[in-house]
Amino acid sequence: MFDVGKKRRLKRIMPGGKTLIVPMDHGISSPVKGIQRIDEILEKIDGIADAVVLHKGVVKNSKYVENMHSALIVHLSGSTLYHANEKVLVCSVEKAIALGADGVSIHVNVGSKTECEQLRDAGIVSELCDSYGMPLLAMMYPRGEGVEISVETVKHAVRVGYELGADIVKTCYTGSAESFAEVVEYCEVPIVVAGGSKKKGEELLEEVRGAMLAGAKGVAIGRNVFQAEKPEEMVKDLRRVIHGSITGVEVLYEGDMAVDRGR
């Protein structure tokens, strides 16, 4: 049974039981375009996104995080592009707490060469999170040599995250609402979908609509936000699909136009 601390933090990350998370933890993997000046992105999407995912060094050096309205999730896992699937812990739950995190996240690649070590670390982190009342977002993917993404492999990955004690599970979309509904059925905690590679705006939104229809509780989308020409507009579009409105603003739909009707 969750304690009060975890419940309170989860409500910050998932207001109304749904969430729009923007991960920006990509810099350890490779110097991807769009995260050179994360504070600028944070300022644009703050209060529209429900939560952001950052590594500890970014949090420590940010001049914006301390005043941020969106929830903060500190990412505990890392690997570079040279060993992309072999995730290791690079931060502790205790450090995340010291940084003021509302939650932590880990990354597990089911099927990778170091799957056993990643599962062990996830289990340990899960228990620590329960002890401290800290929500755990588990990023669960079927990845490794000879491992293909399919309904069955994604279903297995999310089930592993659930059984290890994650509070929210992030995974890849399987291409249709019908197939993703099978994935959701195997996980009794909220599932959020990743954005994956860069996509056209309407293609991304259509995937999110399908995932929500299948029972997903939101998204954790990074590149398609911080590499967008106008990140704040992309987050607003995602928010309309997930929550039905922009934060603090009631939105009416008239054809293809969204009209704000006051705060």
d(CA 167, CA 9): 11
d(CA 92, CA 96): 6
How many separate domains does the chain show? 1
Residues 46, 121, 141, 167: which is the catalytic one? Answer: 141
pTM recorded for the entire structure: 0.91
CA dihedral sign, ordered 226, 36, 192, 104: negative
Range of the domain at 8: 4-260
What pLDDT was estimated at residue 252? 28
- The residue type found at 196 is G
Active site residue 141: yes
What pLDDT was estimated at residue 199? 84
DSSP 205: H
Residues 6, 18, 56, 170: which is the catalytic one? Answer: 170
Q: Supply 191's token pair.
A: 């599932």
What pLDDT was estimated at residue 2? 55
Report the CATH number at residue 253.
3.20.20.70
Active site residue 170: yes
Active site residue 50: no
What pLDDT was estimated at residue 106? 98
Residue 100: left (phi > 0), alpha (psi -120 to 50), or beta? left
d(CA 70, CA 47): 5
What pLDDT was estimated at residue 247? 46
What does each of the 263 residues of the chain score in pLDDT, given as a tens digit? Answer: 458 999 999 999 999 999 999 999 999 999 999 999 999 999 999 999 999 999 999 999 999 999 999 999 999 999 999 999 999 999 999 999 999 999 999 999 999 999 999 999 999 999 999 999 999 999 999 999 999 999 999 999 999 999 999 999 999 999 999 999 999 999 999 999 999 888 888 999 999 999 999 999 999 999 999 999 999 999 999 999 999 965 433 332 333 333 332 32
Residues 6, 18, 25, 56: which is the catalytic one? Answer: 25
